[in-house]
Amino acid sequence: MDEEAARYISPLAFDRTLFEYDLLGSMAHVLMLQEEEIIPRADAAKILKALMDLHRAGPEALHMDPKYEDIHMAIEASVIEKAGEAGGRMHTARSRNDQVALALRMWVRDELDRCISLLCRLEGTLLHLAARHSGTVMPGYTHLQPAQPTTLAHHLLAHHDALMRDLDRLGDAYRRADLNPLGSGALSTSSFPVNRERTTSLLGFGGVLENSMDAVSSRDFILEALAALAMTMVDMGRLVEELILWQSREFGFIELSNRFASTSSIMPQ
């Protein structure tokens, strides 16, 4: 391929994100191939050793040449270089289609898990503060005008409840991302007797994507995760904007720690 064209279409800059997921997916795939006696045990051992060595060395050990098109081919080239002819058997009964779909689902799954964990911590903080301020009276506002008396606990729990719905949406997105596409091949599986349930178990997925064509072609799980995160950030923005208002001189309800404030380039406040 033309060198400039190869650089233009190369996803290698992003693909480093998928490095560990591709390695884990390949390890599970090779273990399954050996257990099903599709490839010899000796070849599987060589491939797994090469993958483990690469995992320890990190993505920096890869020759990230655009001619490899993506990180998945770069990893395969590295394995073949280390394991010899046996390394070529790593790709038995697998296409880059199900390989890439697998790495993306594992990545999205981990990112959602991290966001859910952080959101749970925030929910706990809001509940803790609400419990301390159930009797703290404050004005409630409509259109930035004082409207009715309420409590700080009431106000904080309004944010808590909105974020709980975000948590539900992230959980739903996680469940739909948590399905294994490996074994789907290019679009209609493989003539090799692969065991999709085994790789599902090894990689900790909640289930198998039943239709192989859907498994390799769909990316709606990414869009759903992004939509759920966008709604979460809207609700987070509402909370943060209130903190900005509350610490202003006009409100004076709170004082932000200097650890979380920066100065203006010219104004004294």
User: What's the rounded Cα separation, in Å, for the pair 199 and 31?
Assistant: 8
Structure tokens at 35: 């257990």
Instruction: List, in order, residues 6 or more apart from 41 with CB less than 8 Å away.
Output: 34
| Catalytic residue (choose from 117, 143, 191, 257) | 143
Instruction: Determine how many CB atoms are found less than 10 A away from the CB of residue 130.
Output: 20
Residue from 117, 191, 257, 264 carrying the catalytic annotation: 264
- Residue count of the chain, please give it: 269
Of residues 129, 229, 130, the one with CA closest to residue 174: 229
Residue ranges of alpha helices (H) inside 84-219 are: 96-132, 152-177, 196-202, 212-217
143 catalytic? Reply is: yes
Record the tokens describing residue 208, joined without a space: 């198998």
In angstroms, rounded to a whole number, what is the distance separating the alpha carbons of residues 77 and 54?
12
Whether residue 133 lies in the annotated active site: no
Instruction: Say how far apart CA 197 and CA 209 lie, in whole Å.
Output: 10
Buried b (16+ CB within 10 A) or exposed e, 142-180: eeeeeeeeebbbbbbbbbbebbeebbebbeebbebbbbb
Number of other CB atoms surrounding residue 194 within 10 Å: 22
Which residues belong to the active site? Answer: 143, 264
